[in-house]
Amino acid sequence: QEQRRRLLDVASRFPLPSGCRFSYGTAGFRADGATMAPAVCRAGILAALRSVKLAGAAVGIVITASHNPIGDNGVKIADPDGGMMDQQWEPFADALANAPDPDALLQMVLQFVKDEGIPLGGHHTAQVLLGRDTRPTGEYLLDAALQGINAIVGAHAIDMGILTTPQLHWMVWSKNKGTKASESDYFTQLINSFRRMLELLPKDKGGYELAKKLIVDGANGIGGVKLEQIKAELSGLDIIVRNSGKEGEGILNHLCGADFVQKERVTPHGFGPEDVGVRCASLDGDADRLVYFQMSSSSDNKVDLVDGDKILSLFALFIREQLDVINNNGSQVDKSLPARLGIVQTAYANGASTQFLKGLGLEVVFTPTGVKYLHKKALEYDIGIYFEANGHGTVVFSEDFISQLESLSNDLSSQAANCSAQYHSAMRLMAATQLINQAVGDALSGLLLVEAILQYKRWSFQNWCELYSDLPSRQLKVKVVDRSSIVTTDAETKVSQPSSLQELIDKETANYTQGRCFVRPSGTEDVVRVYAEASTQVEADSLAKSVAHHVE
């Protein structure tokens, strides 16, 4: 019938080129943008099916390849809670993307619909929100996604335009909560909660006053564009956007952006000696990663880097401090706010950060690489803070915690104690729950929370940077014939296959003081990644190099 015809039609419009193999990796499908249309079309089908399965809840599609080169593109699906698509559907995503011909695709969908009990063909509805970044292949792939969505009877696609990845995730999350979900609602929430944070700054503290000037490297992507739109409304900050993506400013992610700065530890394109001593931030191409940096001398282009681990540490300190004030305050009001606070990291977290966080008595846990794992783990806590070293992360608050916080704030404000430290801490936490993106790591909201906390703590960039010293580390990529031949375990810290490899890694690592090393196949590139840490840069480099030899 109609449904069958539509699926056969769309599949024949987007034949799979021979030799193409897609895999739903760390962040969806990724490849050369020009080859992506069949996979994106099928992701459209998949997203529509997901929405039908979930009783018409809004599902999202983001077309982006994040920090990767401009010629690449990718597609990923956001679940109704704004997070990554449930991993249980990934095997079907892979199968669907690689279905060799229209008939195979149709049979595969029909079988899956049956197995999953998806009410296809009934009077179902489905809605899919779409967003894309600024890549030149974006519009072409958007069309492929729309055709895929429209191949499912009853599905309704809503193009939200060119957005940061976290904006689209936020819109999906908001829409399903029943709250306002447009771009201007997103901006209003950021601007208002940031202003609220500043209103709650302690008034009686003297000392260092944070410079208002902040230079932001937009990676020539969408983040800079959006920041330009709202910066005038960000009270108390004087933001200058470089690599803003305007005509002639440069190429997306090329010699700029969070990935470049974090890996190379040098200034991005467009920064020079005149910026020495100025606080700078860098976003990636779709604005879901954030790092900070500062040039300390004009004689070279090296930077002092604040990576995801240090952003996480700042957030953890701030939140813990507010909880401590609320719970240990011996003042008039006897109210407490029990909260399980969890820190989630990956093996790429600098060892010094883990030691620092554990030293504060915080609970630190590890997951494999990829936000889908970190986010899920963080949701197990009342307050979960997660970050990848590369700058992707956020803070998630449980509904239960938020409602307790709300009722505590009400209690405190109705008592004559509404000028108390306790009340202010509760209000700060409340503002933070509004400011920080609850769906996914978001460079814009993260940046505003960082700025508010630095002002709150009266810290300079240098104070923040010196929270602990990073252990020297080195990352290498190794090309191998088949990267899937390497299998890892223990949150990717150990190789289980080939079995001899882990022994070789252990043997090499034992030669270094504070040595730590692991390897894993990338989920987004056709490489095996090697990570090494040691007490000096020379040692970290040498450890990484010798382990890379064993991988080759």
**What residue ranges bind ligand NG1 (CB under 6 A)?**
26-27, 66, 348, 369-370, 388, 390, 392, 522-525, 529
Q: Is residue 442 at the binding interface for Zn ion, with CB under 5 A as the rule?
A: no
91 contact partners, CB below 8 Å, separation of at least 6? none
Q: Under a CB-based contact definition with an 8 Å cutoff, are residues 71 and 118 in contact?
A: no
Shortest Cβ contact with ligand NG1: which residue? 523
Q: Is residue 66 at the binding interface for Zn ion, with CB under 5 A as the rule?
A: yes
Task: Assess whether 66 carries a catalytic annotation.
Answer: yes
C-beta closer to ligand NG1: residue 30 or 428: 30
Kindly report the number of other CB atoms within 10 A of residue 114's CB atom.
10
Handedness of CA 465, 515, 259, 440 (dihedral sign): negative
C-beta closer to ligand NG1: residue 154 or 268: 268
Q: Is residue 288 at the binding interface for Zn ion, with CB under 5 A as the rule?
A: yes
CA dihedral 468, 238, 135, 387 (to 10 degrees): 20
Burial class (CB in 10 A: 0-12, 13-18, 19+), 356: buried
530 token code pair: 């090697």
Q: Please, what is the minimum distance in Å from the beta carbon of residue 345 to ligand NG1?
A: 11
Cα 98 to the chain's mean position, in Å? 27
225 token code pair: 């564009």
Q: Which of 79, 286, 388, 451 binds Zn ion (CB under 5 A)?
A: 286
Q: How many residues sit in the footprint of Zn ion (CB under 5 A)?
A: 4
Cα 329 to the chain's mean position, in Å? 35
69 token code pair: 């080169």
C-beta closer to ligand NG1: residue 154 or 370: 370
Q: Is residue 72 at the binding interface for Zn ion, with CB under 5 A as the rule?
A: no
Residue 243 zone, left/alpha/beta (φ > 0; ψ -120 to 50; rest): left
C-beta closer to ligand NG1: residue 351 or 523: 523
Binding site partner of 525, from ligand NG1, Zn ion, none, Cβ cut-off 5-8 A by kind: ligand NG1
The whole-angstrom separation of Cα 304 and Cα 211 is: 17
Q: Please, what is the minimum distance in Å from the beta carbon of residue 348 to ligand NG1?
A: 5
Binding site partner of 390, from Zn ion, ligand NG1, none, Cβ cut-off 5-8 A by kind: ligand NG1
Q: Under a CB-based contact definition with an 8 Å cutoff, are residues 420 and 399 in contact?
A: no
Which helix H or strand E contains 75, and what residues bound it? Answer: strand 72-78
Catalytic site residue from 12, 18, 51, 66: 66
Selection from 66, 164, 31, 135 nearest residue 388 by Cα: 66
Binding site partner of 284, from Zn ion, ligand NG1, none, Cβ cut-off 5-8 A by kind: Zn ion
Stretch that binds Zn ion, among 11-19, 283-291, 310-318, 470-478 (CB under 5 A): 283-291
Binding site partner of 286, from ligand NG1, Zn ion, none, Cβ cut-off 5-8 A by kind: Zn ion
462 token code pair: 């240098």
Residue with structure tokens 């995801």? 308
C-beta closer to Zn ion: residue 127 or 165: 165
Q: Please, what is the minimum distance in Å from the beta carbon of residue 284 to ligand NG1?
A: 8
Q: Please, what is the minimum distance in Å from the beta carbon of residue 503 to ligand NG1?
A: 24
C-beta closer to ligand NG1: residue 195 or 392: 392
Q: Is residue 133 at the binding interface for Zn ion, with CB under 5 A as the rule?
A: no
- Name the site residues for Zn ion (rule: CB under 5 A): 66, 284, 286, 288
Active centre residues (catalytic): 66
